[in-house]
Amino acid sequence: MPHSESTREFAPETYPPFPDGLPTIELETISLAKILADSDSAEADRVFEICKGRGFFYLELPGCAAGDIIAEGADKVAAVAENVFKLPLEEKMKYRIQGDSLDGYKVAGGTKADRAGTKDTAEFFNLGKNEMIVPDNQMKKPWPDLIMASKPMFKEYVETSHSVGLHILGILAKRLGVDPHEFTIRHRIEEQSNDHIRMTRGPPRETEEMPEIQTPSHTDFGTITLLMNWLGGLQIWSESARKAQLLNHEPDTPGEWLWVKPKKGCAIINLGDAAMKFTNGVLCAGRHRVIPAPGPQGKYPRFSVVYFVRPEDQCIMKQLRAPGIPDGPEEDQDICARDWIKRQAAGLGIEFRHGPQKS
């Protein structure tokens, strides 16, 4: 697949099926329409059980307006992503992640995939939630014209994904004995935070052995993540971890990497380190990574569209006290989400640099 203007790279209708015979994980499927209607408490109970277990599930989107916005929106975001990634490298580098925010472009190879320093192969562009939802004259930084041209679409995608994320957190809150307001107040959409839409492009596979790592092994550092992908490549570590593993690319429990098949019409939902932190490990942040898609799918560039719901910058990262959350020791130091996320990101080798970057 040549990387040129004339060929459409994001073309889900042309992708071959995910191959048989690989170690795959069967995630459970939750209906968004059912949980939004609050009509099926058994469905909501299942969400809670899954989030206490592996912390990953498929969210079936058709059947409600929010689901349609996410399903159709993700296709539109990926189509914009393709054009953004086709911009010349020097142009993309103008928007490189810098300063105190994770907004902007990360070049392929910008993150270390392991302790030996192997480079990752995916590029991504983070579209900050606070930038996308405010009027243009209140935006704090420049964005490529291609992104500005679709800003109303990004705004709708942010607002819908954010509210779906909060709805799921509300389900979890009730079952933990936490007032749902305790989650809402920590994730207000208009407050400054490091939430964003991430558009990712991973290159086609170069060798049959698939040694390249597109997105290194990690747990997400926010609260809840809504992921859309169309080709295989996502893998989950078979054993769940219960604590944030800073400065550690490797799983700390014996296990194996299991493939997650993309499921048509479904988003993939997973919890992050902040959900684990707020609940003192009752909820699980699943470890995952992305390698090139398997078999014939690997010939295609791989796009994914992720929305991260993260705690507001000023939120103090402490466990919540509630009947369903065991009391941990009192923390001696208050750390706000902004610093916590910086620390988590640094642990994954993502640097927050100040001023222009040279390399």
Ligand X SMILES: O=C(O)CCC(=O)C(=O)O
Contact flag: residue 304 with ligand X (CB under 6 A): yes
Considering only 44, 102, 176, 234, the residue that binds ligand X (CB under 6 A) is 234
Total residues contacting ligand X (rule CB under 6 A)?
A: 11
Question: CB 262 → ligand X: shortest distance, Å?
Answer: 8
Q: DSSP labels for 134-167?
A: S-GGG--S---HHHHTTHHHHHHHHHHHHHHHHH
Contact flag: residue 220 with ligand X (CB under 6 A): yes
227: part of which helix (H) or strand (E)? strand 224-229
Position with the least CB separation from ligand X: 304
Span near ligand X by CB under 6 A; candidates 30-38, 189-197, 226-234, 335-343: 226-234
Write the interaction track for Fe ion spanning residues 198-227; mark x where CB under 5 A is met and - where it is not. ----------------------x-------
HEC profile for 71-139? Answer: HHHHHHHHHHHHHHHCCCHHHHHCCECCCCCCCEEECCCCCECCCCCCECCCEEEEEEHHHHHCCHHHC
Residue 278 one-letter amino acid: F
Contact flag: residue 235 with ligand X (CB under 6 A): no
Contact flag: residue 267 with ligand X (CB under 6 A): no
Cα separation, 356 vs 359, in Å, equals 10
170: part of which helix (H) or strand (E)? helix 151-176
DSSP-derived secondary structure letter, 282: S
Question: CB 124 → ligand X: shortest distance, Å?
Answer: 7
CB 200 within 8 A of CB 123: yes
Contact flag: residue 195 with Fe ion (CB under 5 A): no
Write the interaction track for ligand X spanning residues 72-111; mark x where CB under 6 A is met and - where it is not. ----------------------------------------
CB 301 within 8 A of CB 11: no
Question: CB 224 → ligand X: shortest distance, Å?
Answer: 12
Residues near ligand X (CB under 6 A): 198, 200, 215, 220, 227, 229, 234, 288, 290, 304, 306
